Amino acid sequence: MIDYAYIFIPSFVLGLASRLSMLRVDYRQYPSYPQATLSHITLGAIAASLGSLAVPAIAAKEYSAITFLSLAAQQFRDVRNLERQSLDNIEPTELVPRGTAYIEDIAKSFEARNYVAMITSVLVSIAIFISSKLRLDDIVSIVIGIFIGIISIVYLKNKIKRTFVGEIADVREAKIGFDGPLLTINGIVIMNVGFDDSREIFIEKGVAVEIIPKDENSLSTLANLGQRQAITHEAAIQLGIRKDVDEPDFTPMIRRNSRNGRLMLVIVALEPDIECLIEIVKNTLVLESSKRKPLSSKYGRKAAD
């Protein structure tokens, strides 16, 4: 097996590099730092090593070793379950929950990223193996392998890149008002706020935006409750929410104008900065599970005319 170190090592390194390049520790704190991050790096390393072992195993006529790849697929399905379970478990502790759709999306992306690491490793090892079979120098084949690896990382990353709300909708400032006890955003009734002091706080500290879908696809995507919950969660964690468990009045809300499908988001924030809220909403991920494409169907297109 040591004969194949020139295949195994570069492909392992590139596989791991692809996983690392997709591991971001940011404001979301998911994966949380440092423990969950470490476990994801380890899983990425396992994925990369499994991917890089496949070709040397075939070359060494160790066919049983390839069955390990199926084991790997099982392993990464477990990653998804693991992520889902742990996020589900902490969900009741969130002031503004992520929502099950967002959790599913996070879990899915963790699984997919491990596959990307594995595919990168396989591609690199195939490239090195083929070029060495063409009687190229080891160094040259490794360089070719690295080149292929970088191309595949960029390509795959681009392939699994997600869209943002800002790409499918316009976000504008909206006006908070009260019609008796009814909280309204641009004239759309959001909810009934009975307590006088709460209404004053809404006027003083509340910020609201109107999310205007750009086409029929985004219209039905944004109508999804999971997508809306994800937007409120993002807004709440980034702006800082002025709410505690005994103040349900200030729960951030998104309501849909059922006449034209526009969404109204209202949040009572610690930092009521409208510019920031608009950017936050624009930078919220469009969840894969809430994506709808009625315009791709014949009758959907017809109906949209």
Partner 1 sequence: MDIGIKDAILAIVTTNKDAVEGGSVPVFYVNNREEMEHTALMIAKVTLAMIHDLDNDCFIIVKH
Footprint of partner 1 (CB under 8 A): 92, 180-181, 192-196, 198, 245-246, 248-249, 251
Q: Which is nearer to partner 1, 244 or 305 (CB)?
A: 244
CB 185 within 8 A of CB 212: no
Q: Which is nearer to partner 1, 147 or 195 (CB)?
A: 195
CB of 99 to partner 1, least distance (A): 15
CB of 181 to partner 1, least distance (A): 4
CB 174 within 8 A of CB 164: no
Burial status of residue 55 (CB atoms within 10 A of its CB: 0-12, 13-18, 19 or more): buried
CB of 226 to partner 1, least distance (A): 18
Q: Which is nearer to partner 1, 19 or 98 (CB)?
A: 98
Task: Report the residue count for the chain.
Answer: 305
Q: Which is nearer to partner 1, 187 or 248 (CB)?
A: 248
Distance from the Cα of residue 142 to its chain's centroid: 33
CB of 190 to partner 1, least distance (A): 13
| CA-angle at 21, arms to 16 and 26, nearest 5° | 130
Q: Which is nearer to partner 1, 21 or 198 (CB)?
A: 198
Q: Which is nearer to partner 1, 181 or 187 (CB)?
A: 181
Amino acid at 78: D
Q: Which is nearer to partner 1, 246 or 275 (CB)?
A: 246
C-alpha 14/C-alpha 121 separation (Å) is 6
Contacts 24+ apart (CB under 8 A), 24-28: 27/237, 27/238, 28/237
Q: What is the DSSP string of 15-54?
A: HHHHHHHT----TT--SPTTHHHHHHHHHHHHHHHHHHHH
| Contacts of residue 38, Cβ cutoff 8 Å, sequence gap at least 6 | none
3-state secondary structure 207-241: EEEEEEECCHHHHHHHHCHHHHHHHHHHHHHHHCE
CB of 215 to partner 1, least distance (A): 33
C-alpha 274/C-alpha 258 separation (Å) is 24
CB of 24 to partner 1, least distance (A): 33
CB of 211 to partner 1, least distance (A): 22
Q: Which is nearer to partner 1, 177 or 261 (CB)?
A: 177
CB of 82 to partner 1, least distance (A): 23
